[in-house]
Amino acid sequence: MSWIAVDDSFSRVYSMRFISKLKYLCYAASLLLIFVATSISFIRFLPGENIQLYQHVRPRKQLVIFLLTSTKTLPTRGRDVSLTWGRRAKDYRELGSIVSPVDVVFSESADTSEYGISHLPVPDVSYDDLYKKTFSTFHYLYKHHLNDYEWFMKADDDTFIKIRSLLALLNNPSINASEPLLLGRKGGSWCWGGPGYILNRRMLSLMGPYLPYCKKNKRFHGEEDVMFGECMKYALSQALPDYQNPGCQAIPGGNGHEFLALGHNDVLWEHFNEPQYTFSIPYSDSSEWSFDKAIALHTVRGSMMYQLNYLYE
């Protein structure tokens, strides 16, 4: 029987050694885990380039606004935006956040770094072919940034946008993100192009696959805003045949007068510094328009951009 006892004590000693080794292994593993966790959370909060590298930990932003600019108007209107509400958008911070919830980008293939605003590589077109640029840009955003934003807005480079008010409206928790939404000033099924229009992620995900077709097909060649509405109608009829498409809608919970379109020489601009002054505008039954209620204003040129930026945020 003695050989069994010897063997037993041998195995006990052996297993005790194993357990003490295991203990060190556990210490080492814990240290490694702590190190990795710390590095990940540190990398996550590095600014700029590094956030691009770690896309999987980058939180989704609320809104991207692309400006339908051109090589010709970039040094004037593009620069004016970059020095006014474009800069305000870049510097905007919500409490406890170190990045802006909104990105403003130029829809322009030329390098725009001197304006401090990045650009999307979509080809330049003539003014008559503007619709093509809108289709291309939304398609680019669909392909590369669909999951980076909740909202996707098109604006012109002579549009003034009150960033803070817009973000507050789009944050409305009663908006159902599962519904495809096209928001703006209602024309027909289309939204007026000048003061801009906004798609939610659901709408872009449904329209995305049809955008190259719309760009190529003559049926969608014409006025940029009307054609975008037509393409939206077509895409939804294909993607969701049973859906009752309401077309362009006002911002839910808004005042219904957010998207103001005036000619750049309109005498009403004289009242820009009287926020409560109410007036009527062409192609609208309402006489309740005001600079206070407006959130996206068009057509804004030259010094008016700076004057609005001084008065409104």
- Report in angstroms how near the CB of residue 243 gets to ligand NAG at its nearest: 8
Q: Specify whether the backbone of 233 is left (phi greater than 0), alpha (psi in -120 to 50) or beta.
A: alpha
Residue 240 makes contact with ligand NAG by CB under 6 A? no
Quick one: which segment of 119-127, 141-149, 172-180, 271-279 binds ligand NAG (CB under 6 A)? 172-180
Q: Which is nearer to ligand NAG, 200 or 309 (CB)?
A: 200
Chosen residue from 15, 118, 176, 273 binding ligand NAG by CB under 6 A? 176
C-beta of 178: minimal distance to ligand NAG in Å? 4
Closer residue to ligand NAG in complex, CB, 163/199? 199
At residue 52, φ and ψ (nearest 5 deg) are -60, -40
Within residues 16-75, the interface with ligand NAG by CB under 6 A covers none
- Residue span binding ligand NAG (CB under 6 A) among the ranges 50-58, 174-182, 228-236, 246-254: 174-182
How many residues at the interface with ligand NAG, by CB under 6 A?
3
What are the residues whose beta carbons fall under 8 Å from the beta carbon of 222, sequence distance 6 or more? 131
Pairing of strands 259-261, 296-298: parallel
Of 206 and 308, nearer to ligand NAG (C-beta) is 206
Question: Alpha-carbon distance 127 to 146, whole Å?
Answer: 27
CA dihedral 109, 114, 116, 119 (to 10 degrees): 0
Three-state secondary-structure class, residue 148? coil
- Does the footprint of ligand NAG cover residue 178 (CB under 6 A)? yes
SS3 category, 27: helix
- 92 φ/ψ angles, rounded to the nearest 5 degrees: -65, 135
Helix (H), strand (E) counts: the chain? 10, 11
Among 179, 266, 274, 313, binds ligand NAG (CB under 6 A): 179
Q: Cis before residue 71, ω within 30 degrees of 0?
A: no
Find out whether 220 and 231 touch, Cβ atoms under 8 Å: yes
Q: How far is the CB of 176 from ligand NAG (least distance, A)?
A: 4
Position 7 contacts ligand NAG (CB under 6 A): no
Task: Tell me the β-bridge partners of 279.
Answer: 289
Q: Closest separation between CB of residue 37 and ligand NAG, Å?
A: 37
**Residue 276 interacts with ligand NAG (CB under 6 A): yes or no:** no
> Shortest distance, CB of residue 169 to ligand NAG, whole angstroms?
19
By CB under 6 A, tell whether 172 contacts ligand NAG. no
* 299 contacts: CB under 8 Å, gap ≥ 6: 156, 158, 159, 194, 261, 262, 263, 264
Among 30-38, 46-54, 65-73, 173-181, the segment contacting ligand NAG (CB under 6 A):
173-181
Residue closer to ligand NAG, measured from CB, 89 or 206 = 206
274 binds ligand NAG (CB under 6 A): no
Q: Which residues bind ligand NAG (CB under 6 A)?
A: 176, 178-179
